[in-house]
Structure 1
Amino acid sequence: MAKKSIKPKNSKTKYYLYSLITLFIAVRFYLFSEFYQNFSSEKTKSGTVSKMEQMVAIDEIDYSKLDDSICMLKKTYCEVPQNYSHIVDCLHSEDINVYYLKDAGSCSLCKLTPGFVFPIDTKETVKVVKCLAGSKPARVPFRVRSGAHSFGGTSFVEHGFIVDMKRMRRISVKPKKKEVVLGVGVRVGEAYQALEKYKLLVIGGDCPDVGIGGLSSTGGTGFTTRKYGVMINTVLNYEVVLPTGDVVNASFDENRDLFDVLRGTGGSSFGIITHVTLKLGPLEPMYGFLRIKIDPKSTGEWLHYFVSIADTLSDDMMYIYTYLFDKFTLVQGALTGELFSNSTLQNEVVQNLVDDAKKRGVDIISANIFKVPYTDLWKYTYGAHAYSKSVNPKSTWLRDYREHTNSEYNGVTSGYICTDHVPLEVFEKLEKHYFHPKYRKQLLPADIGTNVELFGGNTFSDEMYGVYKGKGCRAIFTTYPKRGDTPEKATLIQKFQAEFWDILRPYTNYSYRGYEDASHGRSDQGGHVGMMDFHYGESKYEVMTAKTKFDPENIFKNHLSIPTIDCYEQNLCQ
């Protein structure tokens, strides 16, 4: 006997039954998707990628063909010095190429200082670390670089190897969670560009060709600093290759001691960071761009006023800088939120800023504000082609490999203004010094770039901000002295630099970790005590304890790196 099928008695019952089935399928699909977004993963060459992540492709670079001044080292090309050969042999045994700059246009005459290695993923990075860290008894110095942007030269070594991370270029976006996983070879401009379609942005970084590795471990101020904080506030996880070759995660939940010290020390003191997970912020369609020109004769009055408003200025003024030039002092800033969307409030705030400055004796030449998309902030800050050029890896990857100095700058120095009051007389002295005829007649503004970034707002809002020494400070002054194209000019630049900081240093605390402040010493020249005391203060033993735990043999070192406790106390750092 045939089975009777169950049929709904009428169309209304049939409708409800179909609706219930549809709802059941939808709920199951949603739960299935959420399950995989949080728990399911698959291995790729660049690490672990969630199935619900959206990968953003970046063109791979053939480094052997990128520039005619580089050649790949093979045993038939160059006679490798004895203290290099065991490392080169080790790297070759792991199928990892070593590159050198050409000498006299011939690969048969390779320059052997330094050698470059370009790991493509975490696995290759492990192999590189094991070859370099296990190179005793003839251990050769090496450095790690992400974007080749270290003003202090921490990513360069004249004799040894450079581990260049520029091929680690993964960008994996989690739009729902507002998170992104970045390989440390990604430049911050590339990250902004990749996230634009999701209406999200990384927090921190206003120079588009800076590498994510250094920026996310050194500090990371930028266009959104006063609104959302510095980049290290947004780090959720670091993937790190330790000196042992072990790969670990450092986060709030894993290896917390390593996580805390990575946020603010920079310079690869503990291992090689390969990937960073960041919390993202919202990207608005348009921003307000503020530009104020000030008569140079009232620069002192403006700086005095500028530092005083850090705690009262709305954090919708996302960032605001003062730049010193020869013919005027320039103020630039970006506005968002209510301060941007409410034109009446915007005009009122800007007008009050101008009026209050005038009451302090500041001579305002002009003040303008206009709407721009986020990427245009670079155009108005650094020039029309700054963004497009700096996200092109070919434009900068060899820019500072050709000389041991690593940078066109010499002794970039910064200092935080953390006191409640700096006398007007101090800023007036800075004005007279900067515009003194003996300097202005012979030096261009670019020879000694000078700027001030205002803090306040939410700059250091995260209580767990690692060891970044800027919390509670109002502003940061920075000078960028060039090396000078003649000995006379170089001497004059250094004289300017020394006199500038003689005036300001008594009123500053700490310094940005990415800059080399020679007055406080170098780890590799016996100056580690002064350096640690100046940069870290009471936190110095917390930092050195982590160094002693994760890199007890001090394998990862440069002239700004963290010393072990024995190194610090027994003067064994050199």
Structure 2
Amino acid sequence: MSLKLICICILCLTLTINAAPSKKQVADTLQECLNPVKGNKVFPNDAVYSQDIIDENTRITFKPAVIVYATSVEDVQTSVKCATTLKIGITARSGGHSYEKYGTGGRDGVLVVDLANLNNITINNSKKTAVIGAGNKLGPIYYTLSQSGFLIPAGSCPSVGVGGHSMGGGYGLYGRKFGLASDHISSVNMVNANGDLITASTDENPDLFFALRGAGGGSYGIVTDITFNLSPVPPTVTSFTLTYDPSKLQLTFDAMNQVGTSLPAEMTISLSISPNNVQIVGVHLGSSESAQSALKKFIKVSSPTDTQFNEETFFASVVRMGFQGFQGTINPTHHPNSFKAKSFFVKSPGLSSAGVQSINNFLNTIECSTFAEFDLFGGGAANSIAPDETAFVHRDTLYLIQLYTTLTGDESTDKICLDKLTSFGITFQKRFTSYFSYQNYIDRDLQDWQHRYYGSNFERLTKVKQKYDPKNLFNFPQSIPTSAN
């Protein structure tokens, strides 16, 4: 045999030995590693796989290597150790509401740890605290806590998972009185990159505790449960709706800008505009009489065509504001759809008349169904915390805007809509809003997201990442990196 032929044979043998493992080999190895997990495991060949990878946003789909339905902290720890050993990505899914599908990794081939079964809620009445499993949805949390006379401030959508929601801040219709969900966290239990369960609080790992409250959505580890400080449920709550003539839109913004921050902290309002529809929904933690009294000046300035006030219990208000998101008493329902969203924070004195006209023109010309939502943020508890006290930096804002576009399913039309939304978002931000956006309305296309989501806290967050996850095991397209460079 010639030397040349021997070399070729050796080369072929080397290539064979070093060949990448097949998908089946990877799946078999992963399945063996995950064998100690007691929860269900769904692999790509399983019949339910195609259904289980569907989350709230159907615009994009990623194909995980496996979905692990953890039933215990030990299941989470085993999953993390397998991901480390096999060098594959890992992510947590709490409610499946990530706008960019980061709950399934933001890419193919990731090990997804679904936390839905980590849904215990343990209330300590004397301490006025609750330990809440990270897989709980907001609807059942509101219900369970209210049965004991308590609440945490959070969002309106009942099917949103508390894990992702509170780790990104968590604003909602009780925010002006109580602040963000993250502001009420007293400690967090998290499985780190080594597979160890650690606690973050003001006393233990305080640097991690800082980071998790605003930037903790999957960047540092897998949160398994959260301890919240509870607030008392008010005896009476008034939900209200103010309807407006779309041609008088500017009057509504005049009221938001001029009167909004002077509304009592017990009242939070959200303005929604779309073609031919302008409406404010709100919640007042008090009687209908006191709500109408508090809104007297606002109503005078904005001139609604119709007003409705509903005095009810706290949980009845939660259900009403859940916008048909409940099935039966407390079970939240998902409504998957294909969408894209942008967000903007507006500081005082608010959106100018040119800004109002700009967004109204956009809503009336884009080919896809689109609405804009303005959540009053200013004049409340969320503004009273320093921007560097937690990772949530957006403390000096007047209101938060969300632009939400529902796609049609027609590829060419949807491309036009997405291009228009992106172009408008860039121009609108430069001309009319602050530089910042809301991390819970995460947008993969956002330029300089590092500073638009985290501002002056970003470099500090990367140092925390370097300390707790130096090998960047927990990563997705917009996770906190190990370096600010």
TM-score interval, smaller chain? 0.7 to 0.9
1:351 corresponding residue in structure 2: 296
In the TM superposition, 1:45-444 aligns within 5 A as 81-93=24-36, 97-100=40-43, 113-135=64-86, 139-157=87-105, 158-317=108-267, 319-337=268-286, 340=287, 343=289, 345-358=290-303, 364-383=304-323, 385-388=324-327, 391-392=330-331, 395-396=333-334, 408-410=338-340, 412-436=341-365, 439=366, 442-443=367-368
In the TM superposition, 1:537-548 aligns within 5 A as 537-548=455-466
CA deviation profile, 1:438-458 (whole Å, cap 9, x unmatched): x4xx54xxx323211001221
**Does the C-alpha gap of structure 1 residues 418 and 519 become closer, same or farther in structure 2, counting only changes over 3 Å?**
farther
**Does the C-alpha gap of structure 1 residues 389 and 502 become closer, same or farther in structure 2, counting only changes over 3 Å?**
farther
Quick one: which amino acid aligns to residue 28 of structure 2? Answer: S
Secondary structure, counterpart of 1:449 in structure 2? strand
Q: Aligned partners of 1:413 and 1:455: how far apart in 2?
A: 17
CA deviation profile, 1:251-284 (whole Å, cap 9, x unmatched): 1111000000000014210011001000111112
1:514 corresponding residue in structure 2: 440
1:484 corresponding residue in structure 2: 408
Shift of 1:517: 2.7
Answer with 280-289 or 299-308: which moved more.
299-308
Secondary structure, counterpart of 1:508 in structure 2? coil
**4+ long deviations beyond 6 Å:** 103-107
Is 1:461 the counterpart of 2:384 in the alignment? yes
Q: Aligned partners of 1:426 and 1:105: how far apart in 2?
A: 47
**Does the C-alpha gap of structure 1 residues 500 and 304 become closer, same or farther in structure 2, counting only changes over 3 Å?**
farther
Q: Aligned partners of 1:538 and 1:422: how far apart in 2?
A: 24
Is 1:501 the counterpart of 2:425 in the alignment? yes
Secondary structure, counterpart of 2:345 in structure 1? strand
Q: Is the 8 A contact 2:272 2:372 kept in 1?
A: yes
* Superposition TM-score, scaled by structure 1 size: 0.73
Secondary structure, counterpart of 1:353 in structure 2? helix
Q: Aligned partners of 2:445 and 2:125: how far apart in 1?
A: 45
Shift of 1:166: 0.7
CA deviation profile, 1:79-114 (whole Å, cap 9, x unmatched): 95233333221111555652135677899xx99744
**Does the C-alpha gap of structure 1 residues 409 and 433 become closer, same or farther in structure 2, counting only changes over 3 Å?**
closer
Q: Aligned partners of 2:66 and 2:241: how far apart in 1?
A: 45
Answer with 302-311 or 280-289: which moved more.
302-311
Is 1:532 the counterpart of 2:440 in the alignment? no
Q: Aligned partners of 2:458 and 2:220: how far apart in 1?
A: 15
Q: Aligned partners of 1:451 and 1:133: how far apart in 2?
A: 41
Secondary structure, counterpart of 2:422 in structure 1? helix
* Superposition TM-score, scaled by structure 2 size: 0.85
Q: Aligned partners of 1:124 and 1:189: how far apart in 2?
A: 25
Unmatched tracts of structure 2, length 5 or more: 1-21, 54-61
Answer with 98-107 or 466-475: which moved more.
98-107
Quick one: which amino acid aligns to residue 429 of structure 1? Answer: S
Secondary structure, counterpart of 2:383 in structure 1? coil
Secondary structure, counterpart of 1:196 in structure 2? helix
Secondary structure, counterpart of 1:505 in structure 2? helix
Quick one: which amino acid aligns to residue 473 of structure 1? Answer: T
Q: Aligned partners of 1:243 and 1:105: how far apart in 2?
A: 29
Unmatched tracts of structure 1, length 5 or more: 1-78, 359-363, 401-406, 522-529, 570-574
Q: Is the 8 A contact 1:301 1:427 kept in 2?
A: no
Q: Is the 8 A contact 1:297 1:431 kept in 2?
A: no
Structure ID, larger Rg = 1
Secondary structure, counterpart of 1:273 in structure 2? strand
Identity of matched residues, % = 22
Q: Is the 8 A contact 2:255 2:298 kept in 1?
A: no
Quick one: which amino acid aligns to residue 352 of structure 2? Answer: P
2:7 corresponding residue in structure 1: none
Q: Is the 8 A contact 1:416 1:477 kept in 2?
A: yes
Q: Is the 8 A contact 1:300 1:431 kept in 2?
A: no
Q: Aligned partners of 2:47 and 2:186: how far apart in 1?
A: 47
**Does the C-alpha gap of structure 1 residues 180 and 113 become closer, same or farther in structure 2, counting only changes over 3 Å?**
closer
CA deviation profile, 1:314-347 (whole Å, cap 9, x unmatched): 1121x2000113222010111124xx37x2x443
CA deviation profile, 1:505-560 (whole Å, cap 9, x unmatched): 02223111122334434xxxxxxxx2213222321110000000000000000112
The structure whose RCO (Cα within 8 Å, separation 6+) is larger is: 2
